[in-house]
Amino acid sequence: MKKIFVDYRKCVACKSCETACAVAHHPNGSLFGLVGDIRTQVNVRVLGVEHEAFPVSCRHCDPAACLTACPAGAIARDAASGAVVQNPEKCQACAMCAMVCPFDAISFKHTHRALPGREVAYKCDLCHQRLAQGHAPACVQACHSGALVFKVSEPQREKRAVASLKVYLLGEGGEPPLFALHRELRRKTFARRRMGKS
Amino acid sequence: MCPRADHRSVDPAAAAMLKISDRDGFETAWSRLEAQQPQCGYGQLGTCCRNCSMGPCRIDPLEEGPRRGVCGANADTMVARNLARMAAAGSSAHSDHGRKVALLLKEVASGRNTDYTIINPDKLMVVAGRLGIATAGRETLAVANDVADVAIGCFGAQGEETIPFVLGYMPKKRLELLKNLEVTLSELTGARIGLLPRGIDREVVDIMHRTHFGCDADPLTLIAQTLRCSFGDGWGGSLIATECQDILFGSPTVRTIKANLGVLDAEMVNVLVHGHEPVLSEKVVEWARSPEMTAAAKAVGAKGVNVAGLCCTGNEILMRQGVNVAGNLLHSELAIMTGAVEAMVVDVQCIFPSLADLSSCFHTRFITTSEQTNIPGSLHIQFEEHEANAIARRIIQTAIDAYPNRNAAKVYIPQETEEAMVGFTVEQVVGALGGKLDPLVEVIANGTIKGVVGIVGCNNAKVQQDFFHLSLTRELIKRDILVLGTGCWAIAAAKAGLMNLGAQQLAGPGLKAVCTQLCIPPVLHMGSCVDCSRMLVLTGALADHLGVDTSALPVVGSAPEWTTEKAVAIGSYFIGSGLPVHLWPVPPVLGSPVVTKILTESAKDLLGGYFFVEEDPEATADRMEAIIMEKRAGLGL
C-alpha cells in the first residue's frame, strides 16, 4: 500500500498542502470559492512546534483504532486504496474516534459533507477518489519541497535509510548549507524566545 | 508564546503590562506572532515571487522542486528583486517624510504658511553653504526659498547628475570611490551600472521598473540599484528630513527627559503622539502647553494636558521640545492598556492597525491624521500644514473631551521611568568637544576609545523586547566602544537608564574617563530613524577630517531588532557608505547563495562595508570589536 510519508525537516511551512486539501475537498473546487466559507474542510494542518513545522494528517493505520472504536460504524476502509474513510452521514459526533487516534488527526466541524446543522468528525481521506483516477493526494501534489511524498512503504523506507546513511557514513548530501543555516537561526530565535534570553 | 511576561520583554514596565494583557485577554504583537506560527519558509528565505500573474512562484531551498519560476527567474533573481523592493519601500517612507518637510520649508519661505516659522536660521545658513547657495547679505527667507528649491529638486530630478545633497554632504573619498566603482563595474560587465543617485524618486521608480516582469534578472545589478536607491534615502531623503526639520523646528540640544510608561500621569489628560513626522506633533505639544488647553483640561477635572511620545515621533519631540517618551514600538499597544491614555495621535509608519480595536476597549481616542495612514476604527482628523494650529487645537480638545470617560478601575500605570540625556546631534557632539573633532580623533587614536558603533532601532516580537539592544550596548561600552544611535534602539537605551550619567559606571575605563570629562553618557541619543543621516554626517566629518575613506574608520553599524523595510534601506546605505553592518533577525536572502555572498563578502571588497548576521549579543560585540581592531590596525593605530 502507498502511504503519505512526512519528512518534517524538509517542511518549509508554506502550507500549500493545507490550501490544496481545502480546494480538493470543497464543493466549489476552487481557491476563490472557499475564501470566507466557514464550512471549508482542511484535513491536513501544518503545526508549528517551536522552530519545526509538521504537516499532521491521518496515517491510515491498519488496524485503525478509530475504525474499531466508532459505535456508529461511520468509519470504514476503502478497499482499493486502503484509506480509512469517514462517512459524515453516519457520524454521531461522539468523538470516540478522536479520543483513540494516536496522532490527533480527527477534527469536528459543520462541514459541507455533514447533514444540515450537524457537527461531524472529519479527517484525511487519502484523496481516495483522486487516487482512483490516477492522481496523487492533493497535499502531496502541492508540496514543492519533498516534505510530503506518496510512496509504497518498503522501497521508500529503504531509500530514506540509504540517504540517511550516506550523510552518516560518507558525509554526503545533507541539507544545502544556507538552508541548514536558516534552520539553525530559526532554532536559535525560538530557543531564546522560550528561555527568555531573547 | 512564553507564558512568562518577562520572557517577552526585558523592560519591567512591559512585563507588568503583559501580565494585564494576559489576564484580560488582549491581543498583542507577541500573541499574534504566536498565532502566525509556523511562518512560511519561502518568505523567510526570499524565494517567493509575486511580481506577475503567471505566479506566484517559489523555489524550494532543498533543490527538490523546480529551480525556476514560470518566467525562468531563479532563486538569485527572486531574492535580489525582493530585497530591492524592500529597499525601495524603505527609502520611499523615509524620503517621503523628507519631501513633506522640504515642501513645508518652501511654503514658509514663500510666506504662504504662517503657522510655522524658521526657528534656526543658523542651521539654514550651514545647509545653504553645503549646497553652494549664496548666503552673504541675503534675507533668511530668500535663502530658505533656495534651500527648499534644491531639496525639492532632489526628488524629481531627471538628469544623469548626482543630486546636490549627496554632492554637498558625502565625504570626498567615498564619493570618488563610488564614482570609480561605477566605472569599474561598467567595464567588467559592459553594462552601465550607477551607484550615485540621480533623483530620490527616480531611484525608487527605477527599482519598481527593473523588478517588473521581464526586466533585470542579474543579482549584481539589482543590488547595485538597491544601493543607489538607498543612497537616495540616507544622503538624500532622510538627510533632507533631518536638515529641514532642524531649520524649521530648531536643532536639538542636549537635555534630560524621562522615558518609559511611568511618564503617563494619572491626574492629567494624556496624549500620546506616535509615528515619525514632527510637523504635526510639534504643534500638538505647543497647544497642549497653551494656557487655553490647560484651562480646558482643568474644567474637566484634570491638572492639565500631558503629551508623551512613542517611537520616532517621540524621538523628534524629545530632542527638540524635551517631551518625555512613553516607549518604543512594542510599547504602543501596552501604553493603551494602561487605561490612562485619552488620545493616541498618529502620523505615519510603524503604527499597528491593531491599535484601533484595542483603543475601543478603553475610552482612548485613536486619531489618524495622515492621508497615507487610514486605519478602520480610528477617528480621522485630517492634518493640513496651513491649518496646523486649528487642527492641533482640535486634537487636544478631543483628548480633553475623552477624559471624563476614563474608567478609574481600568487604570494601571507602571511606575518605571529613567532619566536620559538626549539630543546629541552632530553639532552638539562637536560642541561638547569644544567645537572641533580633534579631541574625539585623539581619544580614538590613542586607544582610550577603541571605536564607535552606531545602532538603529526597531523592536521585533521575534526578539525579546530590548534584550539585544541593551545587551549589545552594555557589552560594547564595557569594551571602551562609544555607542550612538537612533530610533527604537535609542528609546530602549533611554528606558534602561543607559543614557544618563550614571551609566558611565558601566563603561570601560577609557570611555568612562572621556565621558566623565565631557559630562556625557557613554550611549548617545542621535534622534529618530531618519536621523541615521546624522550618523552618516558624523562619519563623513571624521573621514574628511582624517583624510581617509569612511571604510577605514573604526566604525560599525547594527540593526539588532530590525523589523521594517526602512531598516533594509538604512543597512544598505550604511554598507554602501563603507560601514560593516550587523543584522538580526536574518534578512530574507538565504534562499540565494549568490545574493548572500555579494552582501556578506563581495561587498567588503568593493565597498568596504558589508552585512553580517549574528544572533547572540556577546558574539556580536566580539565580532564588532574584531572589526574595529582590524580597522585600527589598518590606520596604523
d(CA B150, CA B155): 9
Q: What is the pLDDT of residues B290-326, one digit of tens each?
A: 999 999 999 999 999 999 999 999 999 999 999 999 9
B590:A179 CB<8 A: yes
Give how many domains chain A has, as a whole number: 1
Mean predicted confidence (pLDDT) in B418-444: 93
In a domain, B573, yes or no: yes
> What percent of chain B is modeled with pLDDT above 70?
100
pLDDT band at A196 (very low <50, low <70, confident <90, very high): low
B44:A146 CB<8 A: no
Which of B64, B67, B76, B471 is the mutation pick for testing A, counting most A CBs within 10 A?
B64
Mean predicted confidence (pLDDT) in B127-146: 97
pLDDT mean across residues, chain B = 96
Q: Where a domain ends, among B216, B249, B282?
A: B249
The C-alpha torsion from B275 through B280 and B281 to B284, rounded to 10°, is -140
Same-domain status, B629 and B487: yes
Provide the residue type at A120 as one letter. Answer: V
Q: Does the bond joining B38 to the residue before it have cis omega, within 30 degrees of 0?
A: yes
pLDDT for A50: 87
CB atoms within 10 A of CB A156: 15
Provide the residue type at B135 as one letter. Answer: T
Same-domain status, B378 and B439: no
In a domain, B399, yes or no: yes
Please tell me which residue of chain B has the smallest CA distance to A146. Answer: B64
Q: What is the pLDDT of residues B532-578, one digit of tens each?
A: 999 999 999 999 999 999 999 999 999 999 999 999 999 999 999 99
Chain B residue numbers touching A188 (CB-CB < 8 A):
615-616
In a domain, A172, yes or no: no
Same-domain status, B367 and B490: no
Please tell me which residue of chain A has the smallest CA distance to B60. Answer: A145
Mutual orientation of helices B388-402 and B278-288 as an angle, nearest 10°?
60
In a domain, A142, yes or no: yes
pLDDT at A111 over 70: yes
Mean predicted confidence (pLDDT) in B257-280: 97
User: What letters, b where the CB count within 10 A reaches 16 and e where it falls short, cover B334-371?
Assistant: bbbbbbbbbbbbbbbbbbbebbbebbeebbbbbbbbbe
Chain A residue numbers touching B4 (CB-CB < 8 A):
196
Please tell me which residue of chain B has the smallest CA distance to A52. Answer: B38
Same-domain status, B88 and B141: yes
In a domain, B12, yes or no: no
- Chain B closest CA to A94's CA: distance in Å? 29
Provide the residue type at B344 as one letter. Answer: M
Provide the CATH number for the domain around residue B187. 1.20.1270.30
Chain A residue numbers touching B467 (CB-CB < 8 A):
197-198
Mean predicted confidence (pLDDT) in B516-523: 95
pLDDT for B67: 93
In a domain, B418, yes or no: no
In a domain, A160, yes or no: no
B41:A182 CB<8 A: yes
Same-domain status, B217 and B270: no
In a domain, B4, yes or no: no
d(CA B154, CA B150): 6
Among B45, B58, B468, the residue with its CB nearest the CB of A198 is B468
Strands (E), B448-541: 451-455, 481-486, 523-527
Among B2, B41, B590, the residue with its CB nearest the CB of A14 is B41
The predicted complex's ipTM stands at 0.82
Separate counts of helices (H) and strands (E) for chain A: 8, 8
pLDDT at B1 over 90: no
A182:B590 CB<8 A: yes
Same-domain status, B100 and B121: yes
Q: What is the pLDDT of residues B3-51, one digit of tens each?
A: 788 899 999 999 999 999 999 999 999 999 999 999 999 999 999 999 9
pLDDT at B432 over 90: no
Q: Per the structure block, which three cell numbers stand in for B215?
A: 526586466
Mean predicted confidence (pLDDT) in B216-239: 98
- Chain A closest CA to B331's CA: distance in Å? 17
Q: What is the pLDDT of residues B322-357, one digit of tens each?
A: 999 999 999 999 999 999 999 999 999 999 999 999
In a domain, B53, yes or no: no
Give how many domains chain B has, as a whole number: 3
Question: At a CB cut-off of 8 Å and minimum separation 6, what does B513 contact?
Answer: B448
B7:A196 CB<8 A: yes
B4:A196 CB<8 A: yes
Q: Per the structure block, which three cell numbers stand in for B515?
A: 565621558
pLDDT for A192: 86
Please tell me which residue of chain B has the smallest CA distance to A188. Answer: B615
Please tell me which residue of chain A has the smallest CA distance to B593. Answer: A178
pLDDT at B249 over 60: yes
Mean predicted confidence (pLDDT) in A51-75: 96
- Chain A closest CA to B509's CA: distance in Å? 28
A176:B65 CB<8 A: no
Contact B366, B398 (CB under 8 A): no
**Domain that includes residue A103, residue range:** 2-150
Among A176, A195, A196, the residue with its CB nearest the CB of B61 is A176
Indicate if the alpha-carbon torsion angle B362, B363, B364, B367 is positive or negative: positive
Cα–Cα distances in angstroms (integers) from residue B313 to residues B285, B340, B343, B531, in the given order? 11, 20, 15, 12
In a domain, A71, yes or no: yes
In a domain, A195, yes or no: no
Same-domain status, B272 and B324: yes
A12:B596 CB<8 A: no
Which residues of B lie closer than 8 Å to A, measured between beta carbons?
2, 4, 6-8, 37-42, 44-45, 58, 60-66, 462-464, 467-468, 471, 585-586, 590-591, 593, 596, 613, 615-617
Q: What is the pLDDT of residues B59-90, one digit of tens each?
A: 988 888 889 999 999 999 999 999 999 999 99
Same-domain status, B532 and B456: yes
Provide the residue type at B229 as one letter. Answer: C
A182:B586 CB<8 A: yes
Same-domain status, B241 and B290: no
Chain A residue numbers touching B39 (CB-CB < 8 A):
13
pLDDT at B585 over 70: yes
In a domain, B226, yes or no: yes
Q: What is the pLDDT of residues B180-193, one digit of tens each?
A: 999 999 999 999 99
Among B4, B39, B65, the residue with its CB nearest the CB of A144 is B65
Which residues of A lie closer than 8 Å to B, measured between beta carbons?
10-15, 46-48, 52-53, 144-146, 175-179, 181-182, 185-186, 188-189, 192-198
**Domain that includes residue B563, residue range:** 425-634
Provide the CATH number for the domain around residue A135. 3.30.70.20
Mutual orientation of helices B565-576 and B532-546 as an angle, nearest 10°?
0
Q: Where a domain ends, among B194, B215, B249?
A: B249
pLDDT for A173: 76
- Count interface pairs A-B at CB distance under 8 A: 97
- Chain B closest CA to A73's CA: distance in Å? 36
B66:A144 CB<8 A: yes
pLDDT for B178: 98
Same-domain status, B406 and B462: no
- Chain A closest CA to B397's CA: distance in Å? 41
Per the listing, cell 468528525 goes with A121
For residue B373, give the nearest of B343, B399, B349 by alpha carbon: B349
The structure's pTM equals: 0.93
Same-domain status, B529 and B382: no
Which of A8, A9, A11, A12 is the mutation pick for testing B, counting most B CBs within 10 A?
A12
In a domain, A191, yes or no: no
Q: Where a domain ends, among B410, B445, B472?
A: B410
Mean predicted confidence (pLDDT) in B354-381: 98
Question: A17-21, B60-64, B223-227: which range is least confident on average?
Answer: B60-64
Same-domain status, B369 and B461: no
For residue A82, give the nearest of A62, A65, A68 by alpha carbon: A62
pLDDT at A197 over 70: no
Question: At a CB cut-off of 8 Å and minimum separation 6, what does B83 contact?
Answer: B46, B222, B223, B226, B568, B587, B588, B589, B595
A13:B40 CB<8 A: yes
pLDDT band at A198 (very low <50, low <70, confident <90, very high): very low
Please tell me which residue of chain A has the smallest CA distance to B466. Answer: A198
B64:A145 CB<8 A: yes
B38:A53 CB<8 A: yes
A193:B7 CB<8 A: yes
Name the 3-class secondary structure at B64: coil
A189:B2 CB<8 A: no
